[in-house]
């Protein structure tokens, strides 16, 4: 018995050390996850989208050299930064994100949407509104802020990128925030509401007129209960028939366990986000006839400082290839 206790006392610190080294190593590396998605569109050529999300100020190599070397070896048509590049609304450090942007060569179609830990995207006074300083700098580096909608051409094919939170609102009603998402301090400022109402009107007009492929970009995945709420609350929302939704935010469940999966995801639309539906935390799924792809991202949340790491969940960037779905006749 004494011998067993001695072995236990000797082995436990060693196990803890090895486990800590593994977690550190696993958080310093990143993987490339590739996903083919079939869309009901007659694409003459594949469309390749590179998604980078939830950086949370993490650094991969000097000036993000490890990340940029991998990215610059990839062939893609669109690059999307889907939020939480920074780690604090008030004191976010933009340097890791900007180092990444500066090192990326292909930014022909590069877009950014904000997440819940990014600084607010606008500076609003009683009589004026303008993009925040970091947004302006980001755009000067070649990444556009997707604040409403963009029509772009890729390999001779037209497609539409839209901000999800704006596109689901009913333009017939006064602009308001989307339920379940964090509110911003100037949400009710008249100058801001007028600015967003004009954008909402334009988004709604273009989406009602277009017959091109529509990709909705958001930081926040659209949970099944939110889909149902959007369909039910027709006075406030419009249910859009997107070809694809692309999101981040969940980190795939920052802590994952073998044979169990994600222990928790930050989702306001779940009554209990502990042990969420495992087919709804990362990757590709379909809800209400709409495909949605969610990346686990690169960083980790610092909501609890001593839990600011990922467990059995390596950081990732995502290369999405859109292909035409085969018809039954094929």
Bridge partner residues of 322 (DSSP): 37, 47
Please provide the DSSP assignment of 266-286 as one string. --TTSS--BS--GGGSSEEEE
Cβ–Cβ < 8 Å for 104, 80: no
Q: Which residue has the higher pLDDT, 2 or 282?
A: 282
Three-state DSSP class for residue 178 = coil
Query: What domains, with CATH codes, occur in the chain?
Result: 2-324 (3.60.21.10)
How does pLDDT run across 156-207, given as a tens digit for each residue? 999 999 999 999 999 999 998 898 888 899 999 999 999 999 999 999 999 9
Q: Which of 78, 65, 224 is nearest to 150 (CA)?
A: 78
For residue 127, the 8-state DSSP code is: S
Alpha-carbon distance of 173 to 170, in angstroms, equals: 6
Q: At what angle do helices 95-103 and 65-72 cross, to 10 degrees?
A: 30
Of all helices (H) and strands (E), which one includes residue 228? helix 224-232
CB atoms within 10 A of CB 172: 10
How does pLDDT run across 43-87, given as a tens digit for each residue? 999 999 999 999 999 999 999 999 999 999 999 999 999 999 999
The pLDDT of residue 8: 61
Three-state DSSP class for residue 191 = helix
Alpha-carbon distance of 112 to 81, in angstroms, equals: 5
pTM: 0.95
Q: Which of 254, 259, 258, 124 is nearest to 194 (CA)?
A: 124
How does pLDDT run across 108-162, given as a tens digit for each residue? 999 999 999 999 999 999 999 999 999 999 999 999 999 999 999 999 999 999 9
Burial 12-46 (b: 16+ CB within 10 A, else e): eeeeeeeeeeeeeebbeebeebeeebebebebeee
Q: Which of 162, 247, 165 is nearest to 205 (CA)?
A: 162
Of all helices (H) and strands (E), which one includes residue 231? helix 224-232
Alpha-carbon distance of 214 to 221, in angstroms, equals: 16
Q: Which of 260, 259, 258 is nearest to 275 (CA)?
A: 260
Alpha-carbon distance of 175 to 190, in angstroms, equals: 10
Cβ–Cβ < 8 Å for 35, 41: no
Burial 253-287 (b: 16+ CB within 10 A, else e): bbbbeeeebbbbbbbebbeebeebeeebbbeebeb
**Per-residue pLDDT band at 329 (split at 50, 70, 90):** very low
């Amino acid at each position: 018995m004494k011998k067993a206790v001695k072995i236990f006392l000797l082995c436990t610190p060693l196990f803890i050390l090895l486990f800590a080294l593994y977690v550190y190593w696993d958080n310093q590396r990143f993987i490339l996850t590739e996903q083919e998605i079939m869309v009901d569109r007659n694409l003459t050529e594949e469309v390749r989208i590179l998604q980078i999300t939830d950086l949370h100020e993490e650094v991969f190599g000097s000036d993000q050299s490890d990340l940029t070397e991998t990215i610059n070896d990839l062939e893609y048509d669109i690059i999307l930064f889907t939020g939480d590049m920074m780690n604090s609304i008030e004191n976010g450090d933009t340097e890791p994100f900007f180092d990444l942007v500066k090192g990326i060569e292909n930014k022909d179609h590069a877009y950014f949407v904000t997440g819940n830990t990014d600084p607010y995207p606008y500076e609003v006074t009683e009589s004026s509104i303008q993009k925040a300083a970091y947004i302006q700098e980001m755009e000067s580096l070649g990444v556009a802020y997707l604040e409403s909608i963009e029509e772009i051409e890729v390999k001779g094919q037209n497609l539409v990128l839209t901000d999800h939170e704006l596109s689901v609102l009913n333009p017939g009603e006064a602009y308001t925030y989307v339920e379940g998402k964090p509110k911003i301090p100037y949400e009710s400022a008249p100058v801001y509401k007028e600015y967003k109402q004009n954008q909402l009107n334009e988004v709604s007009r273009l989406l009602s007129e277009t017959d091109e492929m529509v990709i909705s970009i958001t930081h926040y995945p659209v949970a099944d209960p939110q889909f149902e709420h959007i369909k039910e609350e027709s006075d406030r929302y419009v249910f859009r028939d997107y070809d694809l939704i692309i999101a981040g935010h969940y980190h795939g469940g920052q802590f994952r366990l073998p044979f169990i999966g994600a222990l928790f995801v930050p989702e306001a639309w779940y009554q209990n986000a502990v042990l969420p539906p495992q087919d709804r935390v990362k990757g590709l799924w379909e809800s209400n006839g709409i495909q949605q792809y969610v990346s686990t991202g690169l960083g980790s949340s610092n909501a609890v400082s001593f839990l600011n790491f990922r467990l059995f969940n390596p950081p990732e960037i995502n290369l999405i290839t859109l292909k035409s779905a085969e018809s039954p006749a094929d």
